[in-house]
Amino acid sequence: MTAKYSTCELCCKEKDLRESHIIPKFVFDWQKESSGTGFLRSSRVPNRRVQDGAKEYMLCSDCETLFNQWETSFATNIFHPLNRRENIQFEYRSWLLKFAVSVSWRCLTWYRPDTLPGISALGKDLIAKALHTWREFLLNQCPHPGSFEQHMILFDKPISIQNIEALPSNWTRFMIRGCHINLAHCDGHPLYIYIKMNRVTLLGFIGINCPQQWVGTKIHVRSGVIGGSIKVPVQFLDYMKERANVELQIQSKISKKQDEVIGRTYKKNKANALTSETFQALDHDVRLFGINAVFNKKD
């Protein structure tokens, strides 16, 4: 692993920095393992294969080690059992809030929201306060994140959907395979940093004014249960549909040549491809929406 001597974003000490994964590495390892091709494609450059997610020189070895222990607890106790469909509800201890804050802090730091033209000056001040609070919590300098809460939603394949015509035709693939980061904001006001990690959606609240509308999703400081029955504002569902449509647009940019490359890769590994989560999610979307909608064919 290469290093770069600079200031660690977390402890603010001059040290050798490691190339840190923005979304934890185990998320992309699972995506490759459960895909039909063994490769990933970046939403930024969809016509090019990649082997990993975004990385940046951000943390020193000590801070990276600190994050790794929380990542290991989350991957072992929630992420992998959820993807293996062993359970839909999970008990957790204090490591889950530490993990969630570490991911929200890292993603928001990497997103560079101060450069976004759509965020107001007051909004940027609020983002700076969220980052400062999360950093203090990670370094045990404050007992909890305060109003900058962490919320987590666990997804699986939808069994049946009301008003299915209102959903994009990649809904299943988006819900269980999507992996991306976005800063949700409205009229210059930042709402939350949104991190999609396959079946797991993490929200780091920044400017949510009515957190009581979110039921069963908040991560508590010491312990709790995540998963199962939840209640979220209808605006969040609209936001999810918007993000799924963005993924559809990205997919449409894959060239004919790359489509052929993907097809040949599937044929070479036909047995694995047909049992992969990628194929199962695609098949589920076909069952929900029909083959014409999924493959954008006219009757």
Instruction: Read off the pLDDT of residues 31-46 as tens digits, 9 standing for 90 and up.
Output: 988 887 766 655 555 5
Q: How confident is the model at residue 259 (pLDDT cuts 50, 70, 90)?
A: low
Look at residue 132 and tell me if it is in a domain.
yes
pLDDT mean across residues, the chain: 89
pLDDT band for position 271 (cuts 50, 70, 90): low
What pLDDT score does 96 carry? 98
d(Cα 135, Cα 129) in Å, to the nearest integer? 10
- Name the pTM for this structure: 0.91
pLDDT value for 153: 97
**Which pLDDT value is given to residue 113?**
81
- The residue that leads in pLDDT, 183 or 295, is 183
Residue 92 included in any domain: yes
Percent of the chain with pLDDT over 70: 86
Looking at residue 62, what is its pLDDT?
Answer: 97
- How far apart, in whole angstroms, are the C-alpha atoms of residue 55 and residue 294? 32
Residue 299 lies in a domain: no
First to last CA, the chain: 52
Query: Each residue of 140-192: pLDDT tens digit?
Result: 999 999 999 999 999 998 876 677 778 999 999 999 999 999 999 999 999 99
**What's the Cα-to-Cα distance from 6 to each of 10, 54, 55, 209, 295, rounded to whole Å?**
12, 19, 16, 37, 48
The predicted structure's pLDDT at residue 252 = 76
CA atoms within 13 A on the CB side of 280: 14
Number of domains present in the structure of the chain: 1
Burial of 170 from C-beta contacts in 10 A (0-12 / 13-18 / 19+): buried
The answer to whether residue 113 sits within a structural domain is yes
Write down the pLDDT at residue 297. Answer: 57
Give me the mean pLDDT over the 212-238 stretch. 95
91-125 pLDDT tens trace: 999 999 999 999 999 999 999 887 888 899 999 99
Whole-angstrom distance, CA of residue 161 vs CA of residue 158: 7
Question: So what's the pLDDT on residue 1?
Answer: 53
Distance CA 39, CA 49 (A): 6
Q: What is the DSSP letter of 144?
A: S
Radius of gyration (Cα) for the chain, nearest Å? 20
Whole domain around residue 268: which residue ranges? 3-294
Does residue 262 carry a pLDDT above 60? no
- Please report whether residue 147 resides in a domain: yes
Q: Are 137 and 101 in contact (CB under 8 A)?
A: yes
Q: Which of 107-116, 199-208, 265-274 has the highest mean pLDDT?
A: 199-208
The pLDDT value recorded for residue 116 is 83
Please check whether residue 50 is in contact with residue 88, taking contact to mean a CB–CB distance below 8 angstroms: no
Q: What is the mean pLDDT of the segment spanning 75-82? A: 98
Question: How does DSSP classify residue 34?
Answer: T
Average pLDDT value for residue range 219-228: 97
CA distance 64 to 15: 12
Supply 51's token pair: 């082997």
In 3D space, the residue among 189, 187, 176, 299 whose CA is nearest the CA of residue 247 turns out to be: 176
Beta-carbon contacts of residue 244 (< 8 Å; ≥ 6 apart) = 167, 168, 170, 171, 174, 178
